[in-house]
Amino acid sequence: MSTRKRRTPEEAREAILNAAEIHLIAGGSARIRLQEVARDVGISHPTLLHHIGSREALIQAVAERAFQSIQDTVVNAIMESTTQQAGIAPIIETVFQALRETGYGRALAWLILENAAQPQDGLSLSTMVTTAHAARIAVCERDGQKVPEHRDTAFAVLITTFSLFAQSFAGDMAFESAGVPNEGKAFRNWLADLLETQLER
Amino acid sequence: MSTRKRRTPEEAREAILNAAEIHLIAGGSARIRLQEVARDVGISHPTLLHHIGSREALIQAVAERAFQSIQDTVVNAIMESTTQQAGIAPIIETVFQALRETGYGRALAWLILENAAQPQDGLSLSTMVTTAHAARIAVCERDGQKVPEHRDTAFAVLITTFSLFAQSFAGDMAFESAGVPNEGKAFRNWLADLLETQLER
DNA sequence: GGCGCTATCTACAGTATTGTCCATATCAAC
DNA sequence: GTTGATATGGACAATACTGTAGATAGCGCC
């Protein structure tokens, strides 16, 4: 047979992690099967093991890469929206899409439940808090208002994180259960308004 | 051997579901092992199968019971706090404890990710929305304010749900990542204040 | 006490999954 | 073209888990 396709270790590793990530998002690390991942890539599972080492190493690698992707994607989304100076709503919308469309919201939920996530993984919320708080202080000083508490900004970031995170994987169910199906985007706009009025106080 | 302990089918089923629920909360339905559950109960796994039928039936039963428990616990928590007329904060605190201490927040997260949850399961948010909206209307009419939109109340219930739900299993990580560890209770009080000022508008 | 029902257990079959061994194919270097 | 390094896969070992079969023991009922 001349149907063997020889890849570089980097190519193979990349393809394997890409395939494994799909399974991670769909069913968590518990449902990652070496044979399935290998089949998706188009290789045999001994070849997968040759490149990755073990199932545990695969899960570790795909989790680490997922954390990095989440952080990169979200930070990038925030950066892009922030430079446009268009308020909170676009930032919220972009971050939500980053969590939802890519499946990284689900992936993060799986990893947190599996205790595979550490506080320094995922999104480092403290940098977001610091950035947001600096912006608030600038606005307040310009308008001559008193400087807000740091903790207040942290809580605003947290309620946003919780809302977007939960909505990214439980949103459809929640909105339907609440009797307001397909109002996800309206909710996010409502959340942005809430934050703006709250943060101005 | 005279060490066999004969149970009624109801006792056995109850004990089995109790043990399985612990595994569900800890690792999701994927990590429910018949042998482990049986060992926890103090029976052999064929005995477990005799009572439950199959692994699939066990997962189905424990999921259904968990949904019912979640609903009962949360509804009960809301009822108890509501009758005391002490504002939103106690309700939020009680519901959060109902999700956190029992592990039902984690269980719900697992089941949602596993697509085992339907909108009519879990908490039926629409009844909460209806109840909350009726209360709001009463307050507004008494004070001569204009009646708030129903959707506004729904969104308030949803942001509360998202925040408490996410905090119940991802809270420790999130608060630490944000640089405000151990401020969960303060956050919930802040959330209650936010809702009260928001709902009065 | 004897009997029937069934909850219970031991042993085992069947299947799925991970990991190993070793031969083979592929490609770069010379 | 030859050679060396290694990516690849088929076959197999080892383990874990679900489900089945048949025997046994506990308990209510007569």
**Residue B179 and residue A133: Cα distance in Å, rounded?**
13
**Would you tell me which residues 5-34 of chain A have a C-beta closer than 8 angstroms to some C-beta of chain B?**
27-28, 30-31
Contact call for residues B113 and A106 (beta carbons, < 8 A): yes
Asked if B133 reaches chain A (Cβ–Cβ under 8 Å), the answer is no
pTM value is 0.94
Tell me the CATH number for domain B9-200.
Answer: 1.10.357.10
- The predicted-structure confidence for B107-162, as pLDDT tens digits, reads as follows 999 999 999 988 788 778 999 999 999 988 888 888 888 888 999 999 999 999 99
pLDDT value at residue B122: 73
- Which pLDDT band holds residue A80 (cuts at 50, 70, 90)? confident
Residues 6+ apart with CB under 8 A from A15: A7, A41
- The predicted-structure confidence for A125-177, as pLDDT tens digits, reads as follows 999 999 999 988 888 888 888 888 999 999 999 999 999 999 999 999 999 99
Mean pLDDT of chain B: 93
Q: Do B154 and A114 touch (CB under 8 A)?
A: no
Strand nucleotide closest to residue A47 (CA to C1')? D8
User: Which residue minimizes Cα–C1' distance to C7?
Assistant: B6
Residues 6+ apart with CB under 8 A from A138: none
Q: Is the pLDDT of residue A35 over 90?
A: yes
Q: Is the pLDDT of residue B1 over 70?
A: no
Give the least confident one: A11-15, A141-145, B32-36, B51-55: A141-145
**Rounded average pLDDT over A98-117:** 96
Per CB-CB distance under 8 Å, the chain B contacts of A152 are 190
Which residue in the block uniquely carries the two structure tokens 């190493």? A57
Which residue in the block uniquely carries the two structure tokens 């508490």? A149
Asked if A175 reaches chain B (Cβ–Cβ under 8 Å), the answer is yes
- The predicted-structure confidence for A45-67, as pLDDT tens digits, reads as follows 999 999 999 999 999 999 999 99
Tell me the CATH number for domain A9-199.
Answer: 1.10.357.10
Q: Is the pLDDT of residue B181 over 50?
A: yes
pLDDT value at residue B139: 82
- Spatial distance from the CA of A21 to the C1' of C30 (Å): 41
**Rounded average pLDDT over B3-32:** 96
Q: Is the pLDDT of residue B17 over 70?
A: yes
**Rounded average pLDDT over A10-27:** 98
- Which pLDDT band holds residue B2 (cuts at 50, 70, 90)? low
Burial class, A151, CB count within 10 angstroms (exposed 0-12 / middle 13-18 / buried 19+) = middle
List of B residues 47-66 with CB within 7 A of strand C: 47, 50-51
| A182 secondary structure, DSSP code | T
- Chain C: positions less than 7 Å from a protein CB are 6-11, 16-22, 25-27
**Segments making up each domain of chain A, as ranges:** 9-199
Contact call for residues B62 and B26 (beta carbons, < 8 A): no
- Which pLDDT band holds residue A2 (cuts at 50, 70, 90)? low
List of B residues 83-112 with CB within 7 A of strand C: none
B39 vs B199, which has greater pLDDT? B39
- The candidate with the shortest Cα–Cα distance to B175, out of A70, A151, A188, is A151
Q: Do A173 and B110 touch (CB under 8 A)?
A: no
Q: At what angle do helices B150-177 and B125-143 cross, to 10 degrees?
A: 110
A101: number of Cβ within 10 Å: 11
Contact call for residues B13 and B52 (beta carbons, < 8 A): yes
Q: Is the pLDDT of residue A1 over 60?
A: no
Q: Which residues of B106-139 are buried (b: 16+ CB within 10 A; e: fewer)?
A: bbbbbbbbbebbebebbbbbbebbbebbeebeee
- Which pLDDT band holds residue B68 (cuts at 50, 70, 90)? very high
SS3 B2: coil
Least CB–CB distance from B174: residue in A27, A161, A194: A161
Contact call for residues B28 and B62 (beta carbons, < 8 A): no
**Residue B134 and residue B94: Cα distance in Å, rounded?**
21
For the record, the structure tokens of A158 come out as 């947290």
Share of chain A above pLDDT 70, in %: 98
Contact call for residues A194 and B156 (beta carbons, < 8 A): no
Asked if B73 reaches chain A (Cβ–Cβ under 8 Å), the answer is no
Give the length of chain B.
Answer: 201
Q: Is the pLDDT of residue A3 over 80?
A: no
Asked if A196 reaches chain B (Cβ–Cβ under 8 Å), the answer is no
Share of chain B above pLDDT 90, in %: 74
Asked if B104 reaches chain A (Cβ–Cβ under 8 Å), the answer is no
Minimal CA separation from A126 to chain B, in Å? 4
Distances (CA, A) of A15 to A29, A31, A52, A132: 17, 18, 11, 37
DSSP annotation string for B38-69? HHHHTS-HHHHHHHH-SHHHHHHHHHHHHHHH
